[in-house]
Structure 1
Amino acid sequence: MKDNLQELFPLVDEEGTVIGKATRGECHNGSRLLHAVVHLHVFNAQGDVYLQKRPEWKDIQPGKWDTAVGGHIDYGETPELALSREVREELGITDFTPEFIGKYVFDSQRERELVYVNRTTYTGEVKPSEEELDGGRFWSMQEIREAMGQGILTPNFEREFQRFFLNQE
């Protein structure tokens, strides 16, 4: 499997206002065009956090553990609709209540993303997509702390989790 480099993404300003459009290939080729994504951090009743394992075929951070759900907002789609779609596609979850935590600009040498960060507490069954993911599991806060800086987790997840969750304990 491979990402569709012709998929259309909205280009946005730092507030989230759509100012244009570009393909996935254009957004991920080092142009650093600002495009929008949604993330969902899934906690269970014990406070453990579900992480997905990125497949080896992904164009960015293959094989690393990452936020439970992360996906691009399609051109013409709202962040809320994108979040529902991505959660259904990646984890098979349709009945959840997201809580918007905040947004920020993720900046790397290859790309810039406006990230809409959400969380939920979920006690149902998680069915990771066999097509989009290499599985997933719940991690304790201690496991996450121990994995930080070891090349196991994506740098984006580490920074985001520290910013929004680890410092809130």
Structure 2
Amino acid sequence: MRRSLKYLFYIFTVHTILVFYATFFLSKEAWAFISGGLFYILFGVYFLFELYRQRKKSKELRGEEWVPLVDKKGKITGQAPRSQVHNGSKLLHPVVHLQVINRNKALLLQKRSGSKLIQPGKWDVAVGGHISIGETLEQALKREAFEEIGLKDFSAKLIKTFKWESEIEAELVYLFTTYDYKNIRMKQDSTSSKKMESLNKYSDEVDEIRFWTKKQIENHLGENIFTPNFEMEFQLLKDLKLI
């Protein structure tokens, strides 16, 4: 609405200047056209452009992923396309995060793809993603775990629900933990028969996944290696004595 008013103001201003110019420097015929016919032509072109832009935008939104909007208690209040919850509008939407912990209390982290819009190339929680419209927490968690790291048939525990806000979005985060990763898709380490440290790239959204010890993570905190939300969750896991 604000942008439309701005464009209308520009058109009106330019037209007014042209009318004054025609009054003193052009013929009566030119003045009559500029003050009358040109006015309707300019506004006609503008409204046709706006109609085209709105139809194009509506078509794009129909083909886009939509996510539910919630209040701070998780109650659904509406829905919006994914692009609109990542544009600084701070529309609160629910997401699931899964911290995968091994027997040595090391954390499985994923390196976000360099093509990601948010925090590209940084290490992050093993699994994280939006809850789709109509999905339960458990359904969203299972889907995201399989899509991002190939993990399936696992059990998980909800340990915390909190609001996370950045410059471009606001999320209601449902944080889960699991020690059950036996069905994760792995690859053989080139120097060992053990399937522990080296895991394959499973998703186009993930460049790499591997376990990090508590000490390794602490040595790199604040160095722009990890996402801000992971660093916050790492401290939360320590406070709860889970690592």
TM range (shorter): over 0.9
TM-aligned CA deviation for residue 122 of structure 1: 2.8
* 1:22-41 → structure 2 map (5 Å cutoff): 22-41=80-99
* 1:18-167 → structure 2 map (5 Å cutoff): 18-124=76-182, 126-127=184-185, 128-163=201-236, 165-167=237-239
Is the 8 Å Cα contact of residues 73 and 79 (structure 1) preserved in structure 2?
yes
TM (normalized to structure 1)? 0.92
5+ residue gaps, structure 2, are 1-62, 186-200
Is the 8 Å Cα contact of residues 29 and 110 (structure 1) preserved in structure 2?
yes
Q: CA RMSD in A?
A: 1.3
Q: Cα–Cα, structure 1 residues 84 and 130, in superposed 2: closer, same or farther, change >3 Å?
A: closer
Asked which structure has the greater CA Rg, the reply is 2
The structure with the greater share of residues assigned to strand is 1
Q: 2:105, 2:233 → 1: CA distance? A: 17
Deviation per CA, 1:38-84: give whole Å up to 9, x if none: 00000111111100000011110000000000000011111111001
- Structure ranking higher on relative contact order (CA contacts 8 Å, 6+ apart): 1
The structure with the greater share of residues assigned to helix is 2
TM (normalized to structure 2)? 0.65
Q: 1:85, 1:168 → 2: CA distance? A: 27
5+ residue gaps, structure 1, are none
Q: Partner of 1:145: helix, strand, or coil?
A: helix
Pick which of 62-71 and 131-140 moved more.
Answer: 131-140
